[in-house]
Amino acid sequence: MYHELPKFIYYKSMIKFILILTLGFTFTYCHSQTDEVVKCRLVGGPCEGCQAILEYGDKVLAPVDTLPDFNEDGPKIKVTGTIYQADGKTPAKDVILYIYHTNQKGIYATKGDEKGWGKRHGYIRGWIKTDSSGKYTFYTLKPGIYPNRNASAHIHPIILEPNGKYYWLGSYHFKGDPLLTEKEVNPESPRGGSSGLLMLHKEGNLFVGKRDIILGRNVPDYD
């Protein structure tokens, strides 16, 4: 026969269940690039899709990466920079930077075999791990704007630190884009310490831009 639980036991059980669910969405255990198991924890507020940074699997990450669209038609760009520790001076090594963006038609295109967040972010994505000098570089095509023209062209970045903290940063944008907003050009408190606005200049057949990043700068709940 079914017996109803006393109310205090029921509420206690429900609270415990909710806490487990909350913690499950807040952090997870994952392997670092040195095979060390660390507790990966999302900071900086909610972020749909930030878990994608944990999807590099068994790839050996390097300070330089070329995204899958680079050999297609379109303006080729090189984005580089240095990631610093919270003091803004000390280079931060072994930081993973995940980036993804649209194709030339402004679509997060897929090839049909994507897994995880690749189904949403598309195949134009990659993971980079900074070297001992905090440097990173990636090559790709300059993304197209959304078909409805409701946003400027951009590249999404997500950071994963060696200690397991991960969080989103403001997108990379491109100076001169007519769809740029004032907030994108001059944000009040940009995450990572910079707006992400790239001023591209020509080097051979490449358009080159630079963005430095400071870990945790203007990221809520970082400490």
Residue 19 lies in a domain: no
Kindly state the average pLDDT of the residues 23-38.
56
What is the per-residue pLDDT for 223?
87
Kindly state the average pLDDT of the residues 140-166.
97
Residue 30 lies in a domain: no
156 pLDDT higher than 50:
yes
Parallel, antiparallel or unpaired: strands 197-198 and 201-203: unpaired
Total number of domains constituting the chain? 1
pTM, rounded to two decimals: 0.86
- Full domain range(s) for residue 101: 43-214
Q: Could you read off the pLDDT of 160-218 as tens digits, one per residue?
A: 999 999 999 999 999 999 999 999 999 999 999 999 999 999 999 999 999 999 999 99
Burial 70-102 (b: 16+ CB within 10 A, else e): beeeeebbbbbbbbbbeeeeeebbbbbbbbbbb
Using a pLDDT cut of 90, give the percent of the chain over it. Answer: 82
122 pLDDT higher than 50:
yes
Domain harbouring 72, CATH code: 2.60.130.10
Residue 69 lies in a domain: yes
Using a pLDDT cut of 70, give the percent of the chain over it. Answer: 84
Q: Report phi then psi at 141, rounded to 5.
A: -95, 150
Residue 78 lies in a domain: yes
5 pLDDT higher than 50:
no
What is the per-residue pLDDT for 193?
98
Residue 20 lies in a domain: no
Residue 155 lies in a domain: yes
49 pLDDT higher than 70:
yes
What is the per-residue pLDDT for 40?
93
What is the per-residue pLDDT for 20?
33
The DSSP 8-state label assigned to residue 129 in this structure reads: E
Residue 112 lies in a domain: yes
What is the per-residue pLDDT for 128?
98
Please tell me the least confidently modeled range out of 14-18, 114-118, 195-199: 14-18
Q: How far apart are CA 135 and CA 137, in angstroms?
A: 7
Residue 38 lies in a domain: no
The confidence band for 37, taking pLDDT boundaries of 50, 70 and 90, is: confident
What is the per-residue pLDDT for 29?
63
